[in-house]
């Protein structure tokens, strides 16, 4: 279902969970969407593409996203989501692209993201993420297919980027005294 770039408004209805035959759901660029992403989205178990970016969704990301076992492309960027990245995202073993950039997500990057062996592109920029990168984060570069990693504008991410991460084709991060490596000096 492609309903992107319209003038749709109001919260996404919970009845979306009744559309269990949906494989693609593209609601992006509907700036009038507000409220939470309904937890019923987790009932769409054959959904492999979900885009609700550049809207005005807020609240926390639902843990039910982890039930979307067929998910390959998940883009919820440029909204106003708060809270932490649910560790249940690590259950999406077919996930190739994940965009949570441009929200108000906080806390640490969950180590479960490191188990996403199919992940090719990961955008986490422009959030309020903090703390060290997960210890097993290098697995994305060593055992995975990742070609894009964007961590920019997360002022309080810290630690040294492992050398295996430095070889990612498109690596973007802020060279600060807290986050360093890959040619960036630590303070």
Question: Could you tell me how far CA 184 lies from the centroid of its own chain?
Answer: 25
What is the model's pLDDT at position 7?
64
Note whether residue 187 is domain-resident: no
Which pair of tokens denotes residue 28?
Answer: 């992006």
Q: How many domains does the chain have?
A: 1
Note whether residue 2 is domain-resident: no
Residues 1-48 pLDDT 10s: 666 656 666 778 889 899 999 999 888 776 777 889 999 999 999 999
110 vs 90: CA distance, rounded Å: 8
Note whether residue 4 is domain-resident: no
Which pair of tokens denotes residue 49?
Answer: 């593409």
Note whether residue 186 is domain-resident: no
Note whether residue 93 is domain-resident: yes
Residues 94-153 pLDDT 10s: 999 999 999 999 999 999 999 999 999 999 999 999 999 888 887 887 777 899 999 999
How many Cβ atoms sit within 10 Å of the Cβ of residue 80?
Answer: 13
Note whether residue 164 is domain-resident: yes
Strand partners, 128: 106
Domain that holds residue 54: 9-180
Strand partners, 160: 180
């Amino acid at each position: 279902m492609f309903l992107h770039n319209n003038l749709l408004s109001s919260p996404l209805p919970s009845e979306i969970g009744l559309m269990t035959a949906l494989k693609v759901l593209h609601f992006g660029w509907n700036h009038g969407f507000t409220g939470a992403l309904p937890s019923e989205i987790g009932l769409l178990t054959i959904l492999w593409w979900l885009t609700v970016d550049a809207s005005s969704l807020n609240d926390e990301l639902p843990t039910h996203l982890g039930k979307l076992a067929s998910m390959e492309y998940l883009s919820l960027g440029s909204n106003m989501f708060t809270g932490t990245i649910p560790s249940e995202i690590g259950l999406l073993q077919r996930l190739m692209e994940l965009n949570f950039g441009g929200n108000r997500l906080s806390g640490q990057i969950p180590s479960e993201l490191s188990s996403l062996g199919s992940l090719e592109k990961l955008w986490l920029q422009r959030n309020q993420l903090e703390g060290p990168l997960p210890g097993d984060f290098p697995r994305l570069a060593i055992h995975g297919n990742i070609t894009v990693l964007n961590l920019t504008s997360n002022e309080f991410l810290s630690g040294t980027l492992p050398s295996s991460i430095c070889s990612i084709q498109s690596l973007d991060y802020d060279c600060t005294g807290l986050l360093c490596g890959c040619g960036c000096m630590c303070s």
